[in-house]
């Protein structure tokens, strides 16, 4: 780990040294050996003092700490840090930390600086060859990814005259991710589709060939590969397999975070409503994918979480939403829609959120012609509503 060292000495130290040199010279001139002895002892003290300040804290490194902690809002946790000391013992030191108010200390005093930056000071003492542990009780306050902005060790001199400041230059690997809070959404339209899939639906015209639920007597027109030969041998009559009716249930939630040349002011409400939709999809065993038009390097130039189901998949989606910031760069939403359309990644149900201009409307119109039902997530302060998308473009004459 790279530390920037800064030695802060008492301003009176240099003046004291000059006075001691004069006093020692006078003691030698008047042959006052007691005064000369006191002078030499004082000089020795100052030399040891300077040597201590020059060498203390040179062998300090960061120990292993949890790299990423995941929390929900109002969840409590202990943010722990480890400091390894292979040099001189350190007593009465102070660790100063600054971080965003995404998390908040629960049982430790802190100061609030401009820009919603919190500053916390904690005592720490580490012997030679030991590992010091610092634990800060915190709770999740708001959505986001909390990182340590600055870490400083303030090591005072043993006798209080001077100190050493160690400022960490490398990033602290330990971060805290606070997941967004889900905000309820009303879904006003039926989102059933008529595509073949593997999700049980009593009224479906399709069935899942991997989930047989019984047999029945063979009738003309049944497929030969659906004959259950074991049941036919047991009953003496041809028996046909009966499969569970199923359809395809899959959502794609595509969010446009752009608003002209900046991030939309509705980013927090959109994230909260999207979080609720992902929770709902997991409860109803609906697979979902997530698209965010945030610019990233790679073949897919935007955030894209492929389709999946279950709590682990939902956690991946929540992690994407947690890392969003107003400082992110975006790409035009119509480019993301075009990319998805050309790669045939759009499922039967597409839920879009955010502002839509004429280019996005044209792109959605093309997508809707490929048997895709398009819905619009309209966000308000306390309530979200998912309704069928109504295009604003006029039909060409």
| pLDDT tens digits, one per residue of 233-281 | 888 777 777 655 545 578 999 999 998 778 898 899 999 999 999 999 9
Q: What number of other Cβ atoms are within 10 A of residue 251's Cβ?
A: 23
- Whether the pLDDT of residue 202 is over 70: the answer is no
Average model confidence (pLDDT) across the chain: 82
Q: How confident is the model at residue 132 (pLDDT cuts 50, 70, 90)?
A: confident
Q: How confident is the model at residue 12 (pLDDT cuts 50, 70, 90)?
A: low
Q: How many residues does the chain have?
A: 397
CA dihedral 192, 196, 200, 206 (to 10 degrees): 110
| Nearest C-alpha neighbor of 320 from the set 350, 354, 294 | 294
Pairing of β 163-168 and β 144-156: antiparallel
Q: By mean pLDDT, which of 27-31, 142-146, 356-360 is the weakest?
A: 27-31
- Whether the pLDDT of residue 228 is over 50: the answer is yes
Kind and range of the H or E run holding 235 = helix 229-235
Looking at residue 205, what is its pLDDT? Answer: 39
- Output the pTM of the full model: 0.75
- The per-residue b/e assignment along 230-243, b for 16 or more CB within 10 angstroms, e otherwise, is ebbeeeeeebbbeb
**374 three-state secondary structure:** strand
State mean pLDDT over 161-188.
89
- Whether the pLDDT of residue 196 is over 50: the answer is no
How many Å apart are CA 388 and CA 278, to the nearest integer?
Answer: 18
Looking at residue 106, what is its pLDDT? Answer: 93
Looking at residue 38, what is its pLDDT? Answer: 67
| Nearest C-alpha neighbor of 275 from the set 338, 183, 207 | 183
Render pLDDT for 15-57 as a digit per residue (tens, 0 to 9).
555 666 666 666 666 666 666 566 666 667 677 777 877 888 8
Kind and range of the H or E run holding 314 = helix 311-322
How many Å apart are CA 139 and CA 104, to the nearest integer?
Answer: 6
């Amino acid at each position: 780990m790279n530390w920037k060292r800064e030695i802060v000495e008492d301003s009176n130290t240099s003046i004291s040294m000059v006075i001691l040199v004069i006093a020692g010279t006078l003691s030698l001139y008047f042959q006052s050996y007691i005064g000369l002895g006191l002078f030499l002892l004082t000089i020795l003290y100052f030399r040891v003092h300077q040597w201590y300040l020059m060498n203390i804290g040179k062998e300090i490194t960061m120990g292993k700490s949890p790299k990423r902690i995941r929390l929900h809002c109002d969840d409590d946790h202990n943010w722990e840090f480890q400091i390894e000391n292979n040099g001189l013992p350190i007593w009465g030191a102070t660790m100063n930390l600054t971080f965003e108010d995404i998390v908040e200390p629960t049982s430790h005093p802190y100061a609030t600086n401009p820009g919603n930056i919190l500053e916390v000071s904690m005592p720490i003492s580490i012997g030679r060859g030991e590992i010091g542990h610092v634990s800060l009780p915190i709770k999740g306050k708001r959505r986001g990814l909390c990182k340590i902005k600055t870490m400083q060790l303030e090591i005072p001199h043993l006798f209080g005259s001077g100190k050493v400041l160690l400022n960490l230059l490398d990033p602290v690997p330990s971060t805290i991710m606070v997941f967004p809070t889900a905000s309820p959404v009303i879904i006003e339209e039926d989102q059933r589709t008529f595509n073949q899939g593997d999700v049980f639906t009593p009224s479906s015209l399709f069935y899942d060939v991997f989930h047989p639920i019984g047999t029945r007597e063979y009738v003309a027109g049944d497929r030969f590969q659906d004959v259950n030969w074991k049941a036919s041998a047991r009953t003496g009559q041809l028996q046909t397999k009966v499969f569970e009716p199923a359809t395809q249930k899959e959502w794609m939630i595509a969010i446009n975070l752009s608003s002209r040349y900046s991030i939309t002011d509705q980013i927090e409400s959109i994230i909260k409503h999207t979080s609720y939709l992902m929770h709902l999809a997991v409860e109803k065993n609906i697979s979902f994918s997530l698209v965010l038009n945030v610019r990233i390097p790679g073949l897919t130039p935007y955030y894209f979480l492929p389709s999946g189901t279950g709590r682990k998949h939902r956690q991946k989606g929540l992690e994407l939403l947690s890392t969003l910031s107003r400082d992110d760069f975006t790409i035009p939403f119509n480019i993301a829609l075009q990319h998805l359309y050309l790669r045939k990644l759009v499922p039967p149900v597409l839920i879009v959120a955010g502002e839509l201009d004429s280019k996005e409307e044209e792109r959605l119109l093309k997508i809707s012609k490929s048997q895709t039902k398009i819905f619009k997530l309209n966000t308000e302060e306390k309530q979200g509503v998912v309704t069928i998308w109504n295009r604003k473009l006029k039909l060409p004459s």
